[in-house]
Amino acid sequence: MNQKVNIHEITKAYLRIKKYTLLTPLLSSVIFNKEFNTNIFIKAENLQKIGAFKFRGAMNAVLQLDSSQNTVLAWSSGNHAQAIASAAYLTNKKAIIIMPEDSPKAKLDGTKSWGAKIVTYNRYKESREELGVKIANQENAVIIPPYDDYRVINGQGTVGYEMIIQCNELKVIPDLALCCCGGGGLIAGVSTALLSEYPDMPIYSVEPNYFNDTKLSLEKKEIVEIDITKKSICDALLAPKPGELTFSINKNNLSGGLQVSDDEVMYAMKLAFKYFKIVLEPGGAVALAAALFKKVDIKNKNVLIVASGGNVDKEVFQKSISI
């Protein structure tokens, strides 16, 4: 058992943040299941505050700061940015957020709305980590990383904790789980929670094509860094490599890694809206895309899917539903 990331710490995180977070639904569709010959249960974290699961980890981290730590700093393509900005606002702290200059407008605007100070950078030419450390030193700010932090991972693990409760209420025993993966914080927490209840259940990471660093790392059994000059619509999942902490957990917890194309993701967004009546951003739809396009066998199985976020620009969403 990891000393800092485990079901006991996830349970404590759940109790710590529950007055701030929403219990998001575990959605199912009889018609969808009939058409695709499966039983899918979608954890709709797009309905979480700030439109993504990231609020959980941010809240868990910020609530553990002491009263003298008044300024927090984070780097993010959008959802962790909004999460830290909102958590800081709700706890009367200041937030400085470093975001790529090409972040979706919905995420930039969402972060600004919480009163955070935004610093933009070129994701292809500059290091957000180096810039973040420099600014944190200047502003005496506490850095809260987007995924490689045990407080953040335990907070994200509350997604899995709730899924266990909801499966028990539905009297469903899941056969496998699919979860999106960028830096690996969400799936590290979710897999830790789920395996505490279902120790033999296969759990797979899902990433966009060309940003399959966790898949490659799992296959090589060591951290693999990828070329990030390629593009993907899944802006939330464009990590160059897994985190040290997240990979140390995921290499033990996961059965493997899957990958999906942008076209497959757009189709998943369309079907999520059609059958489940939810709006997903591209990165939030990759796990559903993996199921739809049979990247793993789902026939006649109870499949848990984490839909991680719904912060999508309207033009992208309109394009997806018009496919």
Same domain, 218 and 98: no
Check residue 12 and give its pLDDT. Answer: 98
Provide the domain limits for residue 101: 55-147
Are 179 and 308 part of one and the same domain?
A: yes
User: Residue holding tokens 């912060």?
Assistant: 311
CB atoms near residue 309 (< 10 Å): 30
Domain assignment of residue 1, yes or no:
no
Domain check: are 161 and 132 in the same one? no
Q: Which amino acid is at 182?
A: G
Check whether residue 157 and residue 129 sit in a common domain: no
Residues 189 and 61 placed together within one structural domain of the fold: no
Structure tokens at 30: 């009889």
Residue of 43, 49, 76, 77 marked active site: 77
Residue 262 belongs to a domain with what CATH number? Answer: 3.40.50.1100
Q: Residue 42: inside a domain, yes or no?
A: yes
Give the C-alpha separation, 314 to 311, whole Å: 9
Residue 105: its pLDDT value, please?
Answer: 84
Does residue 223 form part of some domain? yes
Hey, what are 4's tokens? 């800092």
Could you tell me if residue 250 is inside a domain? yes
Q: Is residue 128 part of a domain?
A: yes
**How far is Cα 28 from Cα 281, in angstroms, rounded to an integer?**
19
Active site residue 77: yes
- CA separation for the pair 100, 181 (Å, rounded): 19
Alpha helices in 175-243 (DSSP H): 185-197, 213-220
Cβ atoms of 312 and 281 closer than 8 Å: yes
Q: Please say which residue of 147, 176, 211 terminates a domain.
A: 147
Q: What is the pLDDT of residue 168?
A: 98
Claim to verify: residue 75 and residue 167 sit in the same structural domain? no
- Given 147, 172, 196, the domain boundary residue is 147
- Looking at the fold, whether 15 and 143 belong to one and the same domain comes out as no
Q: Are both 224 and 312 inside the same structural domain?
A: yes
Task: Kindly tell me the burial class for residue 227, based on how many C-beta atoms sit within 10 Å of its own C-beta (0-12, 13-18, 19 or more).
Answer: exposed
Residue 28 neighbours by CB under 8 Å, 6+ apart: 39, 40, 41, 42
Task: Decide if 179 is inside a domain.
Answer: yes
In the chain, the number of structural domains is 2
| Residues 184, 134 share a domain | no
Mark which of 104, 132, 147 sits at the end of a domain: 147
CB count in 10 Å sphere of residue 206: 31
If phi > 0 it is left, if psi is from -120 to 50 it is alpha, else beta; for residue 79 that is alpha
Residues 213 and 302 in one domain: yes
Is 54 tagged catalytic? yes
Residues 112 and 156 in one domain: no
| Strands, E assignment, the chain | 26-27, 39-44, 71-75, 94-100, 117-121, 142-143, 176-180, 203-208, 256-260, 302-307
Q: Which of 29, 43, 49, 54 is catalytic?
A: 54
Handedness of CA 171, 11, 180, 308 (dihedral sign): positive
Same domain, 132 and 201: no
What confidence score (pLDDT) does residue 109 get? 87
Mean pLDDT of residues grouped by 10 in the chain (323 residues)? 90 98 98 97 97 97 94 88 94 94 85 93 88 95 94 98 98 98 97 98 97 96 91 87 97 98 98 98 97 97 97 93 91
